[in-house]
Amino acid sequence: MKQIDELTFPEDLRYATDHEWLKPGTGSCRVGISDYAQDQLGDIVFVELPKVGETLDAGARFGTVESVKAVSELYLPVAGTVTEVNTALEESPERVNTDPYGKGWMVAVTPSDPAQVQALMDRAAYLAMLKG
């Protein structure tokens, strides 16, 4: 496992306490897991994601990630409707390890309450949480 200062945490993302990130956008927002989360999990071998059109509450389970170490649940950081799923992860789940903020994104969601996006942590708050 890497030290926190060896990991990447983009400034333009919002972060949840369960280590999911959300990229704010106009309309839908992409969601994935942070560099810290993928590093803690180890080699990811399987990703289970929801179907397009599912509407979920903030904090609801939207899938799982299976690594060589464990199976972890994924929680949606904001309430909304899933508008897109990264189906490439079915064939290449390791993208979550190699590019968690790019090709390793998991779902796109249209938030039902845009204020929930702003309530998520910014980079500085997420780093402070990680460092305890």
The pair of structure tokens assigned to 105 is 């994104």
- The per-residue pLDDT for 84 is 97
Q: Beta strand 20-23 with 14-15: parallel, antiparallel or unpaired?
A: antiparallel
pLDDT, one tens digit per residue, over 56-77 is: 999 999 999 999 989 999 999 9
Which residue segment(s) compose the domain that 17 sits in?
4-131
The total number of structural domains that make up the chain: 1
Q: What is the CATH number of the domain that holds 110?
A: 2.40.50.100
Residue 82 and residue 62 in contact, taking contact as beta carbons nearer than 8 Å: yes
CA distance 51 to 42: 26
Alpha-carbon span 115 to 22, nearest angstrom: 13
pTM score: 0.96
* pLDDT attached to residue 7: 97
